[in-house]
Amino acid sequence: MSVLAVTETAMGWAGVALERGVIRRATLFHHTREACERELRAFGAVDGEDPRAAEVLGILRDYASGNGGAEMDSFPCEPDGEPFQKQAWLTLREIPRGETRSYGWMARRLGDAKAARAVGAAMGANPIPLWLPCHRLVAADGSLHGFGGGLAMKQALLELEGALPRRLALP
How far apart (Å, rounded) are the C-alpha atoms in residues 44 and 95?
Answer: 30
Task: Note the pLDDT of residue 30.
Answer: 97
- For residue 165, the model assigns a pLDDT of 67
- Position 166 scores a pLDDT of 60
Predicted pLDDT of residue 125: 96
Catalytically active residues, by annotation: 134
| pLDDT tens, residue by residue, 43-98 | 999 999 999 999 999 999 999 999 877 899 889 999 999 999 999 999 999 999 99
- pLDDT of 171 above 50: no
Residues 6+ apart with CB under 8 A from 111: none
Percent of the chain with pLDDT over 70: 96
Instruction: Express each pLDDT in 130-154 by its tens digit.
Output: 999 999 999 988 889 888 899 999 9
Mean pLDDT of the chain: 93
pLDDT digits 0-9 by tens, 3-27 = 999 999 999 999 999 999 999 999 9
Nearest partner of 47 among 36, 35, 39, 37, judged by Cα: 37
Tell me the pairing of strands 12-19 and 101-102: unpaired
pLDDT of 108 higher than 70: yes
Strand partners, 19: 22
